[in-house]
């Protein structure tokens, strides 16, 4: 059952109907920080626009690779709250690429029976993009092969701030607040926590990605830039994940 979008604070969905199997060699929820588009392009003497274009194609391939391996939730960090600070040209291209993806490639999700969800704040996007987001989410809401969650205008701190604001609006007494009170007011209230978080480009930090849900996530760093990612890199990450013993603080 999909929870309605709270227009005041951002894209928010329910994932209560996702059936998560027991611990498995395949991570059921994979989250990816798609880093290195601009550096990949610079190495080739190309513009950042070309890097983002190549990164977009890689994102689609990664979606197929994860789907083929039985991943149930794939979350990608596509555009952060800080990315608005980039050049007008770069932001403009990213918005046009987003509009194209939502408008022209909806069948990518429909053909694969993949549910699309968008997490983040709604402000800053054009009316056209917001309409396309709502249309795509509605068109794919009943699909269960995999959920593809895209973080747009997302920041881990922003998500927590928005949750606290909602708690304050509701007038909940301080002594009545627990972890559940907060988690139910995040952009992804019923979504399973990520089992594995992968970041490309050699950087080894989360950059505010899924701060609440990543408490016990396994982290895996890939030196390659995002557009250079290959299917074998996904297999290597999953093999490393399968070799680890997850203790959840015990």
Domain ranges of the chain: 29-155+193-229
Residues 6+ apart with CB under 8 A from 186: 12, 159, 160, 163, 212, 213
Q: Which range is least confidently modeled, 14-23, 39-48, 96-105, 210-219? A: 14-23
pLDDT for res 24: 65
Q: What is the rounded distance in angstroms from the CA atom of residue 125 to the CA atom of residue 112?
A: 27
Q: Which residues are catalytic?
A: 35, 83
Inform me whether the pLDDT recorded for 102 exceeds 70.
yes
Architecture of domain 29-155+193-229: 3-Layer(aba) Sandwich (3.40)
pLDDT at 8 over 50: no
Nearest to 13 by CA among 132, 145, 113, 151: 151
Could you tell me the pLDDT band of residue 188, with boundaries at 50, 70 and 90? Answer: confident
Mean pLDDT of the 221-236 span: 98
Q: Tell me the sheet residues that pair with 114.
A: 146
Q: Which residues make Cβ contacts (< 8 Å) with residue 74, sequence separation at least 6? A: 29, 30, 31, 32, 62, 63, 66, 67, 146, 147, 148, 149
Mean per-residue pLDDT for 13-32? Answer: 66
pLDDT band at 10 (very low <50, low <70, confident <90, very high): low
- Note the pLDDT tens digit of each residue in 52-77: 999 999 999 999 999 999 999 999 99
**pTM for the structure as a whole:** 0.89
Rounded to whole angstroms, how far apart are CA atoms 73 and 44? 33
């Amino acid at each position: 059952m999909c929870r309605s979008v709270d227009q005041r604070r951002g894209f928010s969905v329910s994932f209560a109907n996702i059936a998560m199997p027991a611990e498995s060699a395949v991570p059921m929820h994979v989250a990816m920080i798609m880093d290195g588009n601009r550096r990949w392009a610079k190495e080739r003497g190309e513009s950042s626009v070309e890097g983002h274009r190549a990164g977009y194609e890689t994102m689609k391939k990664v979606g197929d690779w994860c789907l083929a391996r039985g991943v149930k939730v794939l979350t990608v960090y596509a555009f952060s709250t800080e990315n608005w600070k980039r050049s007008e040209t770069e932001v403009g291209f990213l918005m046009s690429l987003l509009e194209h993806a939502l408008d022209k490639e909806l069948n990518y999700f429909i053909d694969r029976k993949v549910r699309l969800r968008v997490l983040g704040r709604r402000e800053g996007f054009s009316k056209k993009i917001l309409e396309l987001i709502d249309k795509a989410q509605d068109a794919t809401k009943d699909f269960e092969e995999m959920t593809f969650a895209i973080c747009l205008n997302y920041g881990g701190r922003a998500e927590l701030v928005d949750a606290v604001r909602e708690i304050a609006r509701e007038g909940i007494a301080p002594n009545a607040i627990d972890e559940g009170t907060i988690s139910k007011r995040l952009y992804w209230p019923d979504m399973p926590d990520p089992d594995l978080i992968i970041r490309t480009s050699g950087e080894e930090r989360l950059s505010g990605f899924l701060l609440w849900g990543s408490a016990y996530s396994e982290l895996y760093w890939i030196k390659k830039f995002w557009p250079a990612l290959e299917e074998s890199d996904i297999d290597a990450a999953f093999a490393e994940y399968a070799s680890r013993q997850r203790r959840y603080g015990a």
